[in-house]
Amino acid sequence: MSISIRSAGPADAGIVFGFVRALAEYEKLSHEVEADEAMIAAALAGPNPRVFCDIAEWNGAPAGFALWFYNFSTFRGRHGIYLEDLFVDPALRGHGIGKALLVHLARRCVDEGLGRLEWAVLDWNAPSIAFYRAQGAVLMDEWTGCRVSGEALARLAGETAAA
């Protein structure tokens, strides 16, 4: 039994999108998925993509994924990695696949001189929270996430800044 991790490209969009749908179902957020396979392929394409994805394979078959992008900390003055999604097929959990994906990203951070690896987790997701804590993650309870999307984003974009 072996774990391998490889970078995903546009040709892997079907695999990645399958994991995205499975993650959304697990998180009870299927109704929020607007992406499709073509959008995933386009996001992973080109010489300078803005998003990256690693696929974990268990005995040569896709078992999980990590989708991430670079961010920047003004306080640290360094880039970091923001892990947008981490998912392992529920039937394959407990084999170290999720940890292997986190280790892979942590090594990338260290090798590239990045300041941190960060992500968000739903507050009700106790199994994932326990897993992340076991890897050394610290929950940032002092922060509240903010988001503007959809009609609110369009409205905000159409406003005139006060002088």
- How many alpha carbons lie under 13 Å from residue 107 in its C-beta half-sphere? 7
- Residues forming the active site: 132
Query: Cβ(88)–Cβ(98) under 8 Å?
Result: yes
Alpha helices in the chain (DSSP H): 13-26, 37-44, 97-111, 126-134, 150-158
pLDDT in tens, 22-32: 999 999 999 99
Looking at the domain 3-158, which fold is it? Aminopeptidase (3.40.630)
Q: Is the model more confident about 47 or about 34?
A: 34
What's the pLDDT at 110? 98
pLDDT band at 160 (very low <50, low <70, confident <90, very high): confident
